[in-house]
Amino acid sequence: MSGVVVDRRGDVLRVRLNRPETLNALTLDDIAALHAALDLPPDVRAVVFEGEGERAFSAGMNVDTFLSFGPDGARAFIADLRDLLRRVRTAPVPTICVVDGYCLGAAFELALACDLRVATTRARFGLPEIKVGIPSVVDAALLQQYVGLSLAKEMILTGDHYSAETLNAFRLCNEVVLPEGLDAAVHDMLDRVCGHTRTVLAAQKRLFEVWQNTGLAEGADRSVEEFGQVFAAPETAAHLERYRAALRTHD
């Protein structure tokens, strides 16, 4: 059965990995449940991924998942995980990963796929797949953009765990706070990203993916189209009027 709990709080969707007795290790049912959670209602403004308990966001995939795989089963599984992480990256709203404790393997890839990461000082990150005998794949490809190629290779080839403090030098996480400050830090981040129109958030998220996968010229051309298209939405004009009125009150 799935260990994923989805909780709607206002316009924020909270997706919690809820199997603390196994460090929130993921199963195939959990991957399916995460897919379902990303069928977002039109009024959701942000998605927060978090883990139950103080020991881990998630230790990654439960190793038992791999024991029955042959080549075809392995390809089918990893393609499904790839598709899930793509849905996280391309969600039309900001995605935030909250990390307290271990964040390993596929769960680390989920954190990398999210737009923003908020972690505690006891968070530890790693890609231990190589120690199991399998490669780090799919969104592990993003790691070098966060920490540089040298450290990314070290992390992947050793499979070791790294503290939030070590990785904070590279701004892997947007906020690193003491455990008792985690909830406040997440609420503050949500306040900062949820006040924009859904139209502009969706456009900006599409552009992130374009910029990630194209060259400068094509990215700039696609940006022109996205910029023009946001003016087709009535909420753009309404938001501009509110912003202009707010500026006048400060004059």
pTM (whole model) above 0.85: yes
Tally of CA atoms within 13 A in the half-sphere of 28 that contains its CB: 13
Q: Are residues 98 and 47 in the same domain?
A: yes
Q: Are residues 126 and 243 in the same domain?
A: no
Residues near 202 by Cβ (< 8 Å), separated by ≥ 6?
92, 93
pLDDT bucket at 251, cuts 50 / 70 / 90: low
How far is Cα 200 from Cα 192, in angstroms, rounded to an integer? 14
Domain count, the chain: 2
Residue 195: what residue type? G
Q: Which of 173, 193, 213 is the last residue of a domain?
A: 193
Query: What pLDDT score does 126 carry?
Result: 98
Residues near 164 by Cβ (< 8 Å), separated by ≥ 6?
99, 119, 120, 121, 122, 123, 124, 125, 172, 173, 176
Question: Among residues 59, 57, 80, 78, which one has the least CA distance to residue 69?
Answer: 78
Query: What pLDDT score does 40 carry?
Result: 96
Residue found by looking up tokens 């909830």 in the block: 183
Q: Which of 193, 227, 242 is the last residue of a domain?
A: 193
How far is Cα 130 from Cα 70, in angstroms, rounded to an integer? 18
Domain span at residue 209 reads 198-250
Residue found by looking up tokens 């998605």 in the block: 47
Mean pLDDT of the chain: 96
Query: What pLDDT score does 91 carry?
Result: 98
Summarised one tens digit per residue, pLDDT across range 106-138 is 999 999 999 999 999 999 999 999 999 999 999
Q: For residues 22-34, give the mean pLDDT.
A: 97
Q: Are residues 10 and 96 in the same domain?
A: yes
Q: For residues 219-241, give the mean pLDDT.
A: 96
Question: Among residues 174, 48, 56, 188, which one has the least CA distance to residue 117?
Answer: 174
Q: Are residues 60 and 99 in the same domain?
A: yes
Tally of CA atoms within 13 A in the half-sphere of 103 that contains its CB: 30
Q: Are residues 138 and 243 in the same domain?
A: no
Q: Are residues 151 and 213 in the same domain?
A: no
Q: Are residues 72 and 148 in the same domain?
A: yes
Q: Are residues 178 and 236 in the same domain?
A: no
Decide if pLDDT at 250 tops 80. Answer: no
Query: What pLDDT score does 98 carry?
Result: 98
Q: Are residues 39 and 80 in the same domain?
A: yes
- Is residue 115 within 8 Å of residue 96, measured between CB atoms? yes
Residue found by looking up tokens 């505690």 in the block: 120
Q: Which residues are catalytic?
A: 109, 129
Q: Which two tokens stand for residue 186?
A: 């997440």
Summarised one tens digit per residue, pLDDT across range 143-168 is 999 999 999 999 999 999 999 999 99
| % residues pLDDT > 90 (the chain) | 95
Summarised one tens digit per residue, pLDDT across range 216-228 is 999 999 999 999 9
Query: What pLDDT score does 1 carry?
Result: 73
Q: Are residues 218 and 153 in the same domain?
A: no
Q: Are residues 170 and 138 in the same domain?
A: yes
In terms of Cβ atoms closer than 10 Å to its own Cβ (0-12, 13-18, 19+), residue 23 is: buried
Q: For residues 4-10, give the mean pLDDT.
A: 96
Q: What CATH number does residue 173 fall under? A: 3.90.226.10
Q: Are residues 176 and 222 in the same domain?
A: no
**Among 50-54, 205-209, 245-249, which stretch is predicted with the lowest mean pLDDT?**
245-249
- Is residue 121 within 8 Å of residue 151, measured between CB atoms? no
